[in-house]
Structure 1
Amino acid sequence: MNQQKTPFQQIDYTLIFLVFLLMCISFLAIYSGTTEQYVDYEETGRDFFLKRQVIFYVVGFIVMIGIMSFDYELLKNFSIPFYVIGLLMLIYVELNGVVRNGSQRWMNFFGFGPEFQPSEFMKFFLIIALAHMLYLLTTNRTDKSLKGDLVLLGKILAVGMPPFLLILKQPDLGTALVIGSVIATMILVAGISWRLIFLCLLAVVGGIVTLVYLHNFHYEFFSSNLIKAHQLDRIYGWLNPDEYAGSFAYQTTQAILGIGAGQLFGSGFMNSVQAQSAAVPELHTDFIFAVIGEEFGFIGATVLLVVFFLMFYRMVIIALTCNNLFGTYLVSGIIGLLVFQVVQNIGMTVGLFPVTGLALPFISYGGTALVTNMIAIGIVLNVGMRTKNYMFQAEQQA
């Protein structure tokens, strides 16, 4: 005998409320971070980016509700077509994509229509494809041998590495690392033995050591085939911020100065020195955490981190309580997607990681990134509201 609620009676309103809090923080930070460096106050007004962000959030919530309206298990039927379409778009970008600022990341339809970035869609297509594949491979799996784990790992990499390499070649290191975080998350939740995961970590470390060796002893090959000049400059600025404070590390150095000046309570809304003087480039997008750190101090930054933590905690609960492996894998992939972006953005702002150009989810200004993040929330809510709760022993699902 089971006791069921309708899907809309199981909506995780706590998660929606946390997104609402992030929206409010985003509005405050974007308004304060919009300086005359980016807009002409007399012509557009200081609230130019704020108004656009409000529109993006309205669209995002509409899309989120749309994602919640159908059963997420229907995504299984489209996992292969989505993945193939995503790969074909990335191949098209590689062959005939729109070049901007030295990167070939965008496409349009035969010269018509607005440009868009296929890698943003590929993140979700990959999560759906990997979730469906793991659902098929691990449901009732009996082969727990090392050979079985190697086969499973090989299939995950076979699906995940093509989009990773195509995006890395654009070049778009930030998005490629996000794809890598999704792959790593799926490997962790697939039930592969820790010995094999440890060997994978050793392989990653070995790859980094190889890159360092090539940089030191075969620089021509390294710089012409493996990494672009602007990416290498960012690494130099990260490793030696004092030496490159006026060039490669300028953004990070100014952001750290602003966050440090905020101290415990901050300088107050729109009373910051670094933000209001536009000393930090890309303040309303990539480096928006610097605005929060300077104007709201350690306490304000901590509040933001707590909201993020609670949001991810709610997602983990949904993944753990879901009695359908496909739903668990879907939510796990999205957790890996969002957690990496938060950690990387805040880490690069405070100098812990190199600058990659990743936005802070739900906070930074930007339509495409925000709508895709709201799609992610919609999928998580969809899984949570369709999780069946039974009074007695959980029933097996096909």
Structure 2
Amino acid sequence: MQERKSAFQQLDYSLLFFLFVLMCFSLVAIYSASTSTVEQYGMAPTHYVRLQIIWFGIGVILMLGAMLVDYDLFKNFSIPLYILGLGLLLVVHFFGDEINGAQRWITAPGLPRFQPSEFVKIFVIIALAHLIYTITKVPKEKSFKNDLLVVGKILAVGLPPFALILVQPDLGTALVIAAIIFIMILMAGVTFRMLGLMAALGTGFIGSMVWMHNNHFAFFSTYLIEPHQLSRIYSWLDPGANIGAAGYQLYHAMQGIGAGQLYGTGLFEGVKAQSGAIPELHTDFIFAVIGEEFGFVGATVLIVVYFLLLYRLVIIAFTCNNTFGTYLVAGTLGLLVFQIFQNIGMTVGLVPITGLALPFVSYGGSALITNMLAIGIVLNVNVRTKHYMFGEEE
């Protein structure tokens, strides 16, 4: 009989290696990006780097904790975690700290300020994975009516946190929830007819918003969109014409990335990165530092590492013979893919700015810990997949 290996012997070390490379990118980029900021406040040059190391340490501990608990047990806690997440969002809505016009944070006595919406991402993934596992466990005839029921149940779970996050307002995180919902609908196996209907509804919604903007602007700008969100759309469409307003960040970020050319200007040598011209450089716009100081080559290496990490997640999802585990990994894929695409896309002007952090690279506590927990769940699925020898594990 073959000896059963421990969880640590069956770790996906290639996935951990890619995560380590991203950590290295993070610490170097944050050190360079925060130099001008910390000098203004008389802090040590390594202030944010040291804090990021602490967050990484906490994240690794929580990642290992998420890996060691059998993920099948998450089914028992999916509803309590989901209710906890909604409760935290309600606390934020009524009692949260307001910073820069957004009410997204909670400050608990003796604890650092944290953003509950980040952890709600994980709770939504677990809740939807359990829901779809329950729905697909009993095979049903493929029909448009059954698809409507499936999509309706998924939306009933996903839309409440989406709405509570959207009104904070936090469009970026709300769109992450939407991406998770979409990937879960795909995993539920709905027909192309249903997907076509969803695409038509999405296109119709965007078209109606454009029509309202062009024909009823007063109503549109008062009730349908926040002023800062509209400014970001204008700056995305024409950053050069909005340099003094919402396009300031985007314009200088694109200028810096362009100046990096092939090999970059060198560490601490970026004109835009070191001049303080780009606000939130060590958080939302960290990719601008990498693009300017490490150039096209450095940015490409970073994107390739992301691709390889996501590829490992796809392999883990495909090789898992427990559908609940597959859904958990798929939800994590939706979480990371959207954040990576949105952050890099907004930095280079491909999509509007939404204030999302670059996973594992941007400075920050709540977002980093959330992504580390997500990787811990993926490692959990991978470790236990190798124990199953004969079909689905119930």
Query: What's the TM-score once normalised by structure 1's chain length?
Result: 0.95
- 1:322-349 deviations in Å (ceiling 9; x for gaps): 1111100001001100110000000000
Query: Cα gap change, 1:272/1:113 in structure 2, threshold over 3 Å: closer, same or farther?
Result: closer
1:200 Cα offset (Å): 0.4
Alpha-carbon distance in 2 for matches of 1:112, 1:24: 30
Instruction: Say whether the 8 Å CA contact 1:164–1:176 is kept in structure 2.
Output: yes
Which residue matches 2:92? 93
Alpha-carbon distance in 1 for matches of 2:363, 2:159: 30
Letter in 2 for 1:138: T
Which residue matches 2:33? 33
Alpha-carbon distance in 2 for matches of 1:90, 1:296: 39
Instruction: Say whether the 8 Å CA contact 1:127–1:333 is kept in structure 2.
Output: yes
The CA RMSD over aligned residues, in Å, is 1.8
Q: Comparing 324-333 with 45-54, which one deviates more in the overlay?
A: 45-54
Q: Secondary structure at the match of 1:104?
A: strand
Alpha-carbon distance in 1 for matches of 2:213, 2:110: 42
Which residue matches 1:23? 23
Alpha-carbon distance in 2 for matches of 1:108, 1:291: 31
Instruction: Say whether the 8 Å CA contact 2:260–2:291 is kept in structure 1.
Output: yes
1:108 Cα offset (Å): 4.3
Query: Cα gap change, 1:251/1:385 in structure 2, threshold over 3 Å: closer, same or farther?
Result: same
Instruction: Say whether the 8 Å CA contact 1:234–1:249 is kept in structure 2.
Output: yes
Residue 354 of structure 2 corresponds to residue 356 of structure 1:
yes
Q: Comparing 216-225 with 14-23, which one deviates more in the overlay?
A: 216-225
Residue 1 of structure 2 corresponds to residue 10 of structure 1:
no
Query: Cα gap change, 1:42/1:125 in structure 2, threshold over 3 Å: closer, same or farther?
Result: closer
Which residue matches 1:269? 267
Which residue matches 2:209? 211
Instruction: Say whether the 8 Å CA contact 1:288–1:360 is kept in structure 2.
Output: yes
- 1:236-285 deviations in Å (ceiling 9; x for gaps): 10111121122221111111111111111111111111111122111111
Letter in 2 for 1:64: M
Q: Comparing 115-124 with 294-303, which one deviates more in the overlay?
A: 115-124
Q: Secondary structure at the match of 1:238?
A: helix
Letter in 1 for 2:78: S
Letter in 2 for 1:395: G
Residue 322 of structure 2 corresponds to residue 324 of structure 1:
yes
Query: Cα gap change, 1:108/1:258 in structure 2, threshold over 3 Å: closer, same or farther?
Result: closer
- 1:147-166 deviations in Å (ceiling 9; x for gaps): 11111111111111111111
Letter in 2 for 1:27: L
Task: Pick from 246, 249, 252 the counterpart of residue 248 of structure 1.
Answer: 246
Counting only pairs closer than 5 Å after superposition, residues 161-180 of structure 1 correspond to structure 2 as 161-180=159-178
- 1:192-224 deviations in Å (ceiling 9; x for gaps): 111211210111111111111111222222222
Alpha-carbon distance in 1 for matches of 2:3, 2:393: 16
Q: Which runs of 5+ in 2 are unaligned?
A: none
Which residue matches 2:225? 227
Instruction: Say whether the 8 Å CA contact 1:30–1:50 is kept in structure 2.
Output: yes
Query: Cα gap change, 1:313/1:101 in structure 2, threshold over 3 Å: closer, same or farther?
Result: same
Instruction: Say whether the 8 Å CA contact 2:344–2:358 is kept in structure 1.
Output: yes
Query: Cα gap change, 1:191/1:312 in structure 2, threshold over 3 Å: closer, same or farther?
Result: same
Alpha-carbon distance in 2 for matches of 1:41, 1:93: 31
Task: Pick from 321, 346, 370 the counterpart of residue 372 of structure 1.
Answer: 370
Letter in 2 for 1:9: Q
Letter in 1 for 2:223: N
Q: Which runs of 5+ in 1 are unaligned?
A: none
Q: Secondary structure at the match of 2:146?
A: helix
Instruction: Say whether the 8 Å CA contact 1:67–1:378 is kept in structure 2.
Output: yes
- 1:52-80 deviations in Å (ceiling 9; x for gaps): 11111111111111111110111100001
Residue 392 of structure 2 corresponds to residue 396 of structure 1:
yes
Query: Cα gap change, 1:244/1:41 in structure 2, threshold over 3 Å: closer, same or farther?
Result: closer
Instruction: Say whether the 8 Å CA contact 1:341–1:360 is kept in structure 2.
Output: yes
Q: Secondary structure at the match of 2:312?
A: helix
Alpha-carbon distance in 1 for matches of 2:156, 2:130: 14
Letter in 1 for 2:310: F
Instruction: Say whether the 8 Å CA contact 1:35–1:277 is kept in structure 2.
Output: no
Alpha-carbon distance in 1 for matches of 2:358, 2:252: 18
Query: What's the TM-score once normalised by structure 2's chain length?
Result: 0.96
Alpha-carbon distance in 1 for matches of 2:19, 2:55: 14
- 1:121-147 deviations in Å (ceiling 9; x for gaps): 111111000000100110241321221
Alpha-carbon distance in 1 for matches of 2:340, 2:374: 14
Report percent identity of matched pairs.
Answer: 58
Which residue matches 2:65? 66
Which residue matches 2:385? 387
Which residue matches 2:103? 104
Query: Cα gap change, 1:202/1:299 in structure 2, threshold over 3 Å: closer, same or farther?
Result: same
Alpha-carbon distance in 2 for matches of 1:291, 1:316: 29
Counting only pairs closer than 5 Å after superposition, residues 122-141 of structure 1 correspond to structure 2 as 122-141=120-139
Letter in 2 for 1:130: L
Query: Cα gap change, 1:24/1:113 in structure 2, threshold over 3 Å: closer, same or farther?
Result: closer
Q: Secondary structure at the match of 1:116?
A: coil
Instruction: Say whether the 8 Å CA contact 2:119–2:366 is kept in structure 1.
Output: no
